[in-house]
């Protein structure tokens, strides 16, 4: 009781200094939290991937398609439950800066493969009936104010022309990791149109998505599929959805590493700031510590006082920082939803915040505590007056 009272009063003795230090910690914790969340967002696709889904694509490169005839042969492979397929469409809505993912897919099998995308049955029926139907995620529809029945025109980039769709379904995510900002439409609509315009590009799928009966069969099925098309005109490369998603990110790994580094640098800087505050504080209190020692208090009391005060300051900043991280992440998420459909502050980030704050508190206390314990009482007392 007494100890806590003393810690608290000592911590707020220099109001302005403590306020500024707490503010610096708050800013650091917010920055650290947002950077970690940013990294999480980067890996959101990996996080959302399922162990029971595989992706098959052209072995040479993702830009080369595979014949649609592969569909039935893949379905024959033991362990395969569902086969879906599609093409990255890459259409632009009104302006190039309105980025979002849009695919041509076999909608029925695609939704079976992605139970995390929930579409009401009546909407699903309406989608099936309409050749030009498209489905959008809840966030995407909200972003552009789309309502069921709206006509949406995308400008094709890979498949030139203006493409008209009718919004027949809006899916929502089953949980927070599900991406609610995709749009997809019937692969058949794309294929029929392409057949008329550029016949040689028809009947081609950019990728196959494969659902397997049991995640433990993944490597076996992967090998079986690739074996099936070995030495054919278009050899395949099959991998887990996670590996596929990671493949995309590996291209940008340097950025992620840079961000990680910055997040740690932020913590190191704040460590220096708090250490400086604590060093100043302890230097001013050398005389008081000498008085405590004179009265018979030992090294552990002095050390406790210094670390306790350091902890009061860092944990106060940490608590405020964490409290601010959530609204700021939400604001950031809505501003950046084009680039980061998923931007959630994870539990792990909060644990890291607290861990970093504890570390800063301890490190900042080490030197002052060591000095305060070391100094001879008579010398400490002579600093008074």
The binding site for other proteins (CB under 8 A) comprises 2, 5-6, 9-10, 13, 287-288, 291-299, 376-378, 381, 384-385
Instruction: Output 10 or 26, the one with its CB closest to other proteins.
Output: 10
What's the closest the beta carbon of residue 15 comes to other proteins, in angstroms?
A: 12
Asked if 30 contacts 216 with a C-beta cutoff of 8 angstroms, the reply is: no
Instruction: Output 2 or 251, the one with its CB closest to other proteins.
Output: 2
Cβ density class 66-104: b for 16+ within 10 Å, e for less: bebebbeebeebebbebbbbbbebebbbeeeeeebbbbb
β-pairing verdict for 101-105 and 182-186: parallel
What's the closest the beta carbon of residue 342 comes to other proteins, in angstroms?
A: 48
Instruction: Output 242 or 285, the one with its CB closest to other proteins.
Output: 285
What's the closest the beta carbon of residue 173 comes to other proteins, in angstroms?
A: 53
What's the closest the beta carbon of residue 144 comes to other proteins, in angstroms?
A: 59
What's the closest the beta carbon of residue 385 comes to other proteins, in angstroms?
A: 4
Instruction: Output 17 or 71, the one with its CB closest to other proteins.
Output: 17
Cα–Cα distance list, 175 to 41, 48, 112 (Å): 15, 10, 16
Query: CB-based contacts of 115: which residues, under 8 Å, 6+ apart?
Result: 174
Instruction: Output 10 or 263, the one with its CB closest to other proteins.
Output: 10
Q: What is the residue whose two structure tokens read 């030009």?
A: 132
What's the closest the beta carbon of residue 373 comes to other proteins, in angstroms?
A: 10
What's the closest the beta carbon of residue 259 comes to other proteins, in angstroms?
A: 42
Task: Supply the Cα-derived Rg of the chain in whole angstroms.
Answer: 30
Nearest Cα residue to 349 out of 28, 109, 32, 24:
32
- What does DSSP assign to residue 297? -
Instruction: Output 115 or 298, the one with its CB closest to other proteins.
Output: 298
The Cα angle at residue 159 between residues 93 and 57, in degrees rounded to 5: 105
Instruction: Output 215 or 298, the one with its CB closest to other proteins.
Output: 298
- What does DSSP assign to residue 14? S
Query: CB-based contacts of 186: which residues, under 8 Å, 6+ apart?
Result: 104, 105, 106, 107, 131, 132, 133
Asked if 249 contacts 86 with a C-beta cutoff of 8 angstroms, the reply is: no
């Amino acid at each position: 009781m007494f100890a806590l009272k003393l810690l608290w009063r000592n911590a707020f003795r220099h109001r302005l200094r403590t306020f500024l230090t707490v503010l610096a910690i708050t800013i650091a914790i917010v920055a650290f939290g947002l950077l970690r969340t940013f990294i999480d967002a980067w890996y959101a696709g990996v996080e959302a991937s399922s162990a029971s889904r595989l992706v098959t694509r052209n072995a040479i490169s993702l830009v080369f398609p595979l014949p649609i005839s592969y569909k039935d042969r893949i379905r024959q492979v033991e362990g395969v439950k569902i086969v879906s397929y599609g093409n990255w469409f890459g259409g632009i809505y009104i302006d190039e800066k309105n980025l979002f993912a849009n695919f041509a897919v076999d909608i029925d099998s695609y939704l079976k493969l992605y139970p995390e995308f929930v579409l009401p049955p009546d909407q699903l029926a309406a989608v099936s009936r309409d050749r030009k139907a498209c489905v959008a995620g809840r966030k995407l529809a909200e972003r552009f104010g789309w309502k069921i029945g709206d006509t949406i025109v995308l400008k094709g980039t890979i498949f030139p022309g203006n493409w008209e769709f009718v919004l027949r379904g809006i899916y929502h995510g089953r949980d927070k990791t599900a991406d609610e900002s995709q749009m997809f439409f019937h692969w058949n609509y794309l294929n029929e149109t392409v057949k008329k315009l550029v016949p040689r590009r028809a009947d081609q799928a950019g990728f196959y998505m494969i659902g397997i009966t049991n995640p433990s069969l993944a490597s076996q099925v992967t090998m079986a599929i690739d074996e099936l098309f070995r030495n054919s005109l278009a050899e395949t490369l099959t991998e887990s959805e996670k590996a596929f998603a990671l493949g995309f990110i590996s291209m940008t790994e340097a950025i992620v590493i840079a961000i990680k580094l910055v997040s740690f640098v932020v913590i190191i800087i704040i460590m220096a700031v708090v250490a400086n505050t604590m060093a100043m504080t302890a230097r001013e209190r050398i005389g008081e510590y000498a008085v405590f020692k004179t009265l018979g208090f030992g090294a552990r009391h002095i050390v406790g006082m210094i670390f306790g005060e350091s902890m009061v300051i860092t944990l106060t900043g940490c608590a405020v920082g964490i409290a601010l991280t959530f609204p700021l992440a939400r604001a950031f998420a809505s501003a950046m939803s084009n680039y980061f459909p998923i931007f959630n502050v994870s539990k792990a980030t909060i644990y890291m915040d607290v861990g970093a704050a504890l570390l800063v508190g301890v490190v900042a206390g080490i030197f002052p505590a060591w000095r305060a314990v070391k100094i001879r009482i008579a010398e400490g007392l002579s600093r008074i007056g």
